[in-house]
Amino acid sequence: MPVVDQLTRIVIAGGGSAGWMTAAALSNLLAPGCRITLIESEEIGIVGVGEATIPPIKQFNKLLGLDEFEFIRRTQGSYKLGIQFVDWVEPGRRYFHPFGTYGRPFDFGHLLYFWHQAQRQGKVSNSLDEYCMAWVMASQERFALPLSDPRSVLSTYDYAYHFDASLYAAYLREVSERRGVVRVEGRIVETRLNGETGHVEALKLQDGREVSGELFIDCSGFRGLLIEEALHTGYDDWTQWLPCDRAVAVPCASAANFLPYTRSTARTAGWQWRIPLQHRIGNGYVFSSNYLDESAAAATLLANLDGKALAEPRTLRFVTGRRRLGWNRNVVAIGLSSGFLEPLESTSLHLIQAGILRLLALFPDRNFDPALRDEYNRVANSELERVRDFLILHYHLNRRSEGELWRYCANMPIPDTLRENIDHFRQQGRLVQREYDVFVRASWLAVHVGQLNLPEACEPPPQAHAIDSAQWLERLRSSLQSEAGRLPSHRQYIESHCRAAA
């Protein structure tokens, strides 16, 4: 029997990745008795460029009951072991942000100490990447699912996916409609508010229809049709820390290699992404309009593709920052309507997933207890601030001499929380852990070391004095190399398990 105050009508405004991820999750995880309606406008379309993800997406897909291989086939997907950063510190220098951890199981602390010691004594010249399973596999273009045996180095890496965002939304639409979600095609032209409570009551469509509801999820993209245009929630602009505000994107034909990782290459006024899918490579140049115009960005992008361009470059404009309240009255903003942190670490789809799961954990009834809303907003704010700090770290620690953007970023004031993280790591190799950080310690380690924020000293782990650091490192390096060498190539793995139809 339904609880008296249980919500019975949920309306999702927008059918991009955010809208359909929300619809699929709510229709699968909410108790029966709730009607879910999704309104979208084909005429307006979707952003459709969210192609790279981070590992927690696996849990989200599992919650939806998706089969991994079927999902990859349906979305022309590929595997992602991390991100390679090219020329970010200075031209000619590269590093890898891996998914998973470094070293053998259980010796994360030893690794940093031994590597630091051996480097200082001039006994090794290898980069930290060489001691990380995800990079060793990535550099050999290999892939297989990790093992669950915690004694094996093949359990130390993690993975995510690259996929075609439009195909993902279409796939989730199918899943959601099978579970009873009602899709309404139409353009929302007006939001009707209750005169007393200020809550949204109904959305009016261009053809005169009206869709009413009790809880509204705003997945309408950058405009924030409900959260901003109707409720005037406000937006914190973070452009002073993350100045990029444009991207030009273009797909190109596949190349001979099939990399199991995203590549991010620094350019004069921003950076270029390269995301390999089964049927094409996704590319884009994220830049700051203060330092470059759109046609020059498009020209740079087209001059730096690994295959023939398959479309005209498309420009996207954004303002990095966050909506002041992700949940305001009876509207929860999910996706681009809740804010946008540029795509450097592929966090947007993850933040959608995190928003959906948080909403489910704090699900309101008709009384809309403000404590639920406040808790939702508190966690969302912390989560976004941690991602913000992680992104700024990449820019701020650059040593590039070419390009005004880079000089600005190296000299700009940064948030205190990030300043503390940088200082702790530089002084003692200490990785500060903060609440609701999406990124694990290994991720922060990768970027601190990759961007040359190297520790001045490093706490020795127990028994360290009895071990020869260079020998220890060499044994580790060669065992990772030989284990990786036995794995199939990324291409072979996809061919045998989840090749998409041509």
Ligand X SMILES: Cc1cc2nc3c(=O)[nH]c(=O)nc-3n(C[C@H](O)[C@H](O)[C@H](O)COP(=O)(O)OP(=O)(O)OC[C@H]3O[C@@H](n4cnc5c(N)ncnc54)[C@H](O)[C@@H]3O)c2cc1C
Give contact residues for ligand X (rule: CB under 6 A): 14-19, 39-41, 44-47, 49-53, 165, 187-188, 219-221, 225, 247, 249, 284, 316, 318, 335-337, 343, 346, 348-349
Give whichever of 338 and 398 is closer to ligand X, judged by the CB atom.
Answer: 338
Give whichever of 113 and 340 is closer to ligand X, judged by the CB atom.
Answer: 340
> Is residue 215 within 8 Å of residue 356, measured between CB atoms?
no
Report, in Å, the least distance between residue 273 CB and ligand X. 7
Question: Which residues 6+ apart lie within 8 Å of 295 measured at CB?
Answer: none
Give whichever of 162 and 329 is closer to ligand X, judged by the CB atom.
Answer: 162
Give whichever of 3 and 311 is closer to ligand X, judged by the CB atom.
Answer: 311
Q: Which of 20, 44, 50 is nearest to 340 (CA)?
A: 50
Q: Which of 264, 220, 231, 242 is nearest to 97 (CA)?
A: 264
Report, in Å, the least distance between residue 355 CB and ligand X. 10
Question: Which residues 6+ apart lie within 8 Å of 106 measured at CB?
Answer: none
* Catalytic residue selected from 58, 62, 80, 123: 80
Report, in Å, the least distance between residue 52 CB and ligand X. 4
Report, in Å, the least distance between residue 169 CB and ligand X. 8
Residue 123 known to be catalytic: no
Give whichever of 298 and 480 is closer to ligand X, judged by the CB atom.
Answer: 298
Q: Which two tokens stand for residue 58?
A: 């696996």
Give whichever of 98 and 186 is closer to ligand X, judged by the CB atom.
Answer: 186
Q: Cα dist. 434→245, 383, 386, 390, 444 in Å? A: 28, 10, 8, 12, 12
Q: Which two tokens stand for residue 56?
A: 């927690």
Secondary-structure percent of the chain, ordered helix, strand, coil, rounded to 5: 40, 20, 40
Q: Which residues of 140-177 are buried (b: 16+ CB within 10 A; e: fewer)?
A: eebbbebeeeeeebbbbbbbbbbbbbbbbbebbbebbb
Report, in Å, the least distance between residue 115 CB and ligand X. 30
Q: For every residue of 72-120, which 3-state class applies, written as one string?
A: HHHCCCEEECEEEEECCCCCCCEEEEECECCCCCCCHHHHHHHHHHHHH
What are the φ/ψ torsions at residue 118 (nearest 5 degrees)? -65, -35
Question: Which residues are registered as beta bridge partners of 317?
Answer: 246
Based on the number of CB atoms within 10 Å of its own CB, is 118 exposed (0-12), middle (13-18) or buried (19 or more)?
Answer: buried
Report, in Å, the least distance between residue 352 CB and ligand X. 6
Task: Give the residue numbers annotated as catalytic, written as ranges.
Answer: 80
